[in-house]
Amino acid sequence: MSNSGPIRILSVDDHPLLREGIAALVNNQPDMVMAGQAATGAEALQLFQQLQPDVTLLDLRLPDMSGIDILIAMRSELPEARIIMLTTFEGDVEIQRALQAGARGYLLKNMPPSELLDVIRQVHAGKKRIPAAIASQLAEHMSDETLTEREIEVLQEVAGGNKNREIADRLFISEETVKVHIKHIMEKLGAADRTQAVTIGVRRGIIQL
Amino acid sequence: MSNSGPIRILSVDDHPLLREGIAALVNNQPDMVMAGQAATGAEALQLFQQLQPDVTLLDLRLPDMSGIDILIAMRSELPEARIIMLTTFEGDVEIQRALQAGARGYLLKNMPPSELLDVIRQVHAGKKRIPAAIASQLAEHMSDETLTEREIEVLQEVAGGNKNREIADRLFISEETVKVHIKHIMEKLGAADRTQAVTIGVRRGIIQL
DNA sequence: TTTTAACTACCACGATGGTGGTAGCTGCAG
DNA sequence: CTGCAGCTACCACCATCGTGGTAGTTAAAA
C-alpha cells in the first residue's frame, strides 16, 4: 500500500484518556501520525472507511459491539487492513478468535509504550507480532477442545442460575440433553461441577457475565 | 493545605498509556501539574510520601496490591489526603469499600476528560464528587445485606468448584455449617443456586475469579 | 460412500445440593 | 445485662445434579 509518508493510525477505544495517551505517544514519533479516534463500533467503522488508516488499534470491548465483529467488518471491507488488538487481558479464547479473524497483533494495555510502537511498526511492515507473554498464554490451552456453540449457549444459561429443567425449556430441548451438554462442557473445561465450569468459562473468555 | 500554585497530581495506574493520557491532559491545564506517576502499589506509596501530592488518582487493580489497601495506607499516613479512584467498573461493593475507606471521588476510565478535570478541581477544593451514574449503581444495592467475611470465604470456595464436603474440610467446619452459610449467601444475593451466587458475587465485586 | 462431530433423547442410580427447623456459643451494642 | 448478629452443629427430607450407557438424525468431511 503506502510506503511513503508517516504511518497513519486509527485508534478505537472507549477510554478517552487512553486514546489521548496513544495520540500523544504516536504524534511524538517522526514516522507516525494519528489519523483518527473512535469510541464506538459505529464510529470506528465509519472512520475506517473514510480514512483508510495504515494501522488500526482496536479494543475488544466497546459499548455498542464486540471488537471481534468490528475486526471482521473492517477486514471484509479491506482484507489487507493491518489491525492490532489493544486490550486488557480477556482470556485465551478471545485472543484466539481475534487472531483467527485476522488481527496482526495482540497487545495488552499494561505493556510499555515502546512495545506498542514496536508492534505498530512491525505490523505496518506486513509482519505479525504477538508478545511472548500472550503467546504462552495461548499455548497453554492450544490442545484443549473448544466448546460448541450449543455448549456455550448452555453454559451461559448455567451461569444465569438456571436449573437443567429450566434450561431445557428455554432452549426447547429435553432435560436429559441438557445434562449431556453439561457433562461435555465439564469434561472439556476440566471442571468438577457446573459452578467451576462457569468460573473457568469466564476466566477463559468463553462466556461473559 | 496548599492554596497557592497549581494542583499537584500523582497518578497511579499500571497502564502507561493511560497515565500518559492523564499527564497530557493535566499538564495542559493552567492550574494543574503532574507531580509523579506510579505503576505499582509500592511505587505509589513511596512517591506519595515523597511528593505529598494535592490529589492522587488511584486505580483499583494493580499488580502488587489492591487499590483499597493503598488508599488506606495513604490515608493512615496523611488523613487529609485527597484521593480519587479512577478505574473501570468493578461492582458496587468495590465502590462502597473505596468510599468507606475515604476516597473523595470515584471515576470510570470511560468518562470524558472534562469530567476528570472537574472532579479533580472539586476534590481539591475539599468536596466529594461521585458521578450520578455511579451513585445510582450504588443506590441499587444500598439496602442489600452485606455478606460476612466467613460467607465471602465460603463463596470463594464455591467458585473454585469445591463440594460442600470439601469446603468443610478446607475451612475446618462441618458440612452442615457450610450449607447454612451457602443458604444465607443465596438469600442475601437473591441467587437461585450456588452457581448464580458466584456470578452475582463476581459482578458485584464481592469475589474475584 | 463412509466416517465423524454435533445435537438430540431416554433410562437408571448414586451423589450432592438446598430447605426447614432447632440450638449452643461468643462478642458486641444498647 | 439483655438482645442481637455471627458462627457453629445436627437432623430429616426432597430436589437436583452428575454419571453410565445406548441410540437415532443430520450435516460436513474424508
Protein-to-nucleotide distance from the CA of A103 to the C1' of C6, whole angstroms: 29
pLDDT at B3: 55
Distance from the Cα of A81 to chain B's closest Cα (Å) equals: 24
Predicted model pTM:
0.91
pLDDT at B75: 93
pLDDT at A90: 82
Protein-to-nucleotide distance from the CA of B61 to the C1' of D16, whole angstroms: 38
pLDDT digits (tens, 9 = 90+) for A17-43: 999 999 999 999 999 999 999 999 999
Protein-to-nucleotide distance from the CA of A181 to the C1' of D20, whole angstroms: 15
Q: How confident is the model at residue A139 (pLDDT cuts 50, 70, 90)?
A: confident
**Rounded CA gap, B194 and B202, in Å?**
12
Classify B72 as helix, strand or coil.
helix
Say whether residue A28 is in contact with chain B using an 8 A CB cutoff.
no
pLDDT at A163: 97
Contact in structure between B207 and B159 (CB atoms under 8 Å): yes
pLDDT digits (tens, 9 = 90+) for A146-168: 999 999 999 999 999 999 999 99
Bigger pLDDT: B96 vs A10: A10
A2 has a pLDDT exceeding 70 = no
Which of B111, B83, B107, B77 shows the shortest CA–CA distance to B95?
A: B107
**Rounded CA gap, A185 and A201, in Å?**
10
Q: How confident is the model at residue A3 (pLDDT cuts 50, 70, 90)?
A: low
Say whether residue A14 is in contact with chain B using an 8 A CB cutoff.
yes
pLDDT digits (tens, 9 = 90+) for A94-108: 998 999 899 999 999
Which 8-state DSSP code applies to residue B39? S
Q: What is the mean pLDDT of residues B51-76?
A: 94
**Rounded CA gap, A158 and A198, in Å?**
7
Task: Give B-chain residues touching A194 at CB under 8 angstroms.
Answer: 195
pLDDT at A138: 84
Protein-to-nucleotide distance from the CA of B146 to the C1' of D10, whole angstroms: 27
Contact in structure between B60 and B98 (CB atoms under 8 Å): yes
Contact B18 A15 (CB under 8 A): yes
Q: Left (φ > 0), alpha (ψ -120 to 50) or beta: where does B126 sit? A: left
Protein-to-nucleotide distance from the CA of A52 to the C1' of D15, whole angstroms: 59
Task: Give B-chain residues touching A161 at CB under 8 angstroms.
Answer: 191-193, 195-197, 199
B2 has a pLDDT exceeding 50 = no
Q: What is the mean pLDDT of residues B178-188?
A: 97
pLDDT digits (tens, 9 = 90+) for B79-126: 999 999 999 988 889 998 999 899 999 999 999 999 999 999 999 999
Cell numbers placing B167: 469446603
Exposed e or buried b per residue across B17-43, where buried means at least 16 C-beta atoms within 10 angstroms of its C-beta: bbbbbbbbbbeeeeebbbbbbbbebeb
Say whether residue B114 is in contact with chain A using an 8 A CB cutoff.
no
Task: Give A-chain residues touching B161 at CB under 8 angstroms.
Answer: 191-193, 195-197, 199
B195 has a pLDDT exceeding 70 = yes
Cell numbers placing A170: 428455554
Chain A interface test: which of B9, B17, B27 (most A C-beta within 10 Å): B17
Kind and range of the H or E run holding B159: helix B149-159
Q: What percent of chain A has pLDDT over 70?
A: 98
Contact A193 B110 (CB under 8 A): no
Chain B interface test: which of A195, A198, A202, A204 (most B C-beta within 10 Å): A195
Q: How confident is the model at residue B139 (pLDDT cuts 50, 70, 90)?
A: confident
Contact A199 B209 (CB under 8 A): yes
Q: How confident is the model at residue A144 (pLDDT cuts 50, 70, 90)?
A: confident
Q: What percent of chain B has pLDDT over 90?
A: 84
- Closest nt to residue A179, judged CA to C1': D18
Task: Give B-chain residues touching A22 at CB under 8 angstroms.
Answer: 17, 21
Q: What is the mean pLDDT of residues B192-206?
A: 97
Residues in chain A: 209
Contact A203 B209 (CB under 8 A): yes
Contact A159 B195 (CB under 8 A): yes
Q: What is the mean pLDDT of residues B133-159?
A: 90
- Write the residue in B18, B88, B193 that is nearest to A21 by C-beta: B18
B204 has a pLDDT exceeding 60 = yes
- Closest nt to residue B172, judged CA to C1': D8
B43 has a pLDDT exceeding 60 = yes
- Write the residue in A14, A192, A203 that is nearest to B110 by C-beta: A14
Say whether residue A46 is in contact with chain B using an 8 A CB cutoff.
no
pLDDT at B173: 96
Whether the CB of B180 is less than 7 Å away from nucleic strand C comes out as yes
Average pLDDT, chain B: 93
Which of A70, A58, A164 shows the shortest CA–CA distance to A119?
A: A58
**Rounded CA gap, A118 and A129, in Å?**
9
Contact in structure between B9 and B120 (CB atoms under 8 Å): yes
Contact in structure between B154 and B182 (CB atoms under 8 Å): yes
Q: Cell 465460603, residue?
A: B154
C-alpha B91 chain-centroid distance: 9
pLDDT digits (tens, 9 = 90+) for B9-20: 999 999 999 999
Say whether residue B109 is in contact with chain A using an 8 A CB cutoff.
yes
Say whether residue A116 is in contact with chain B using an 8 A CB cutoff.
yes
